[in-house]
Amino acid sequence: MYYNEETTVYLNGKWLKAKDAQTDLYNQTMHYGNGVFEGIRAYDTEDGVQVFKAKEHYERLLYSAEKMHINLNYTVEELVDLTYELLEKNGLSNAYIRPLVYLGANMALQPTEEVNVFLCAWEWGKYLGNDMLNLMTSSYQRPNPKSCHVEAKVVGHYTNSILATTEAKQKGFDEALLLDANGNVAEGPGANFFYEKDGVIYTCPLGNILAGITRATVFEMAKELNFTIEEKYFTPEDVKGADGAFFTGTAAEVAGIGSLDNVKFTMDWEDTMGAQLARMYRNRVSSREYKSFDLV
């Protein structure tokens, strides 16, 4: 699914066939989860292939690396250029791009001087699909921000996401909604969460969540549409029975949510502000509107 005989990847300055790329099984990222990564999408637009918010994604990658004491010697510009080259070499236009920064062999608890940069891409449909999602409040909390840099995109953090999604699927739901250490709603395992009630959209403040780039795009679009977004702490009880809700993420885009813990949202999705934002997002990533973004 992710690669075939022809797929080309970037690894530490070289373009290789995915099937020939190798790694050291003693690397610290595999043993302890100390690595950082990104999830980026490219779209086929009227101006050719465009990587959406490329600069923001690579700025976040550099930030995540710095937080984990990983000495990543690449600039945002270099990484953006490599990404376009990767897409071209693989003949991809609508694609999901996965940059992964992983470390060298080390069983001790400090990062290595060796820092590996791996870039790959594949065609990937909308993560979480197009149907309304039925969520459950997870029994797992998001990692306590005092135990890690929760706003950084670190490999090891995703064990928490895997536990939450697996629990939700095993119980017959589509996805989980995780709380923070204080019992307030934080985010999904791989997406930020918003709900709407009486004409106002709510989402939690930064602090216990990944600072989503799609979340920021939704803030931008809401401003243009004169929609009010309020950042506040809220509980699952505040969400239940609200007018509507949605997830945002690069892979998920803007995805409508049908229910939380089997309590349905009251409005038809198509009539919600979330649905308008979802349509606007599709246009923004794929159309002329894209020109207004500051690309490097």
Min CB(141)–ligand PMP separation in Å: 13
What lies within 8 Å, CB to CB, of 111 at 6+ separation is 28, 34, 68, 69, 70, 71, 103
Verify whether residue 146 is a known catalytic residue.
no
Q: Which is nearer to ligand PMP, 158 or 269 (by Cβ)?
A: 158
Q: Cβ(246)–Cβ(277) under 8 Å? A: yes
What is the distance between the alpha carbons of residues 82 and 202, in angstroms, rounded to a whole number? 37
Q: Which two tokens stand for residue 111?
A: 């990062």
Instruction: Measure Cα distances from 289 to 111, 283, 292 in Å.
Output: 42, 7, 6
Question: Which of 243, 252, 245 has the alpha carbon at shortest distance from 281?
Answer: 252
Q: Cβ(90)–Cβ(121) under 8 Å? A: yes
Q: Which is nearer to ligand PMP, 8 or 254 (by Cβ)?
A: 254
Q: Which is nearer to ligand PMP, 8 or 52 (by Cβ)?
A: 52
Across 30-124, the runs of DSSP E, i.e. the strands, are 36-37, 40-45, 48-51, 95-103, 115-122
Min CB(186)–ligand PMP separation in Å: 9
Q: Which is nearer to ligand PMP, 212 or 244 (by Cβ)?
A: 212
Min CB(27)–ligand PMP separation in Å: 22
Q: Which is nearer to ligand PMP, 106 or 208 (by Cβ)?
A: 208
The residues binding ligand PMP (CB under 6 A) are: 39, 161, 187, 190-192, 210, 212-215, 248-250
Which of these is catalytic: 17, 55, 67, 153? 153
* Environment class of 69 (CB within 10 Å of its CB; exposed 0-12, middle 13-18, buried 19+): exposed
Min CB(178)–ligand PMP separation in Å: 9
Please identify every residue annotated as catalytic. Answer: 153
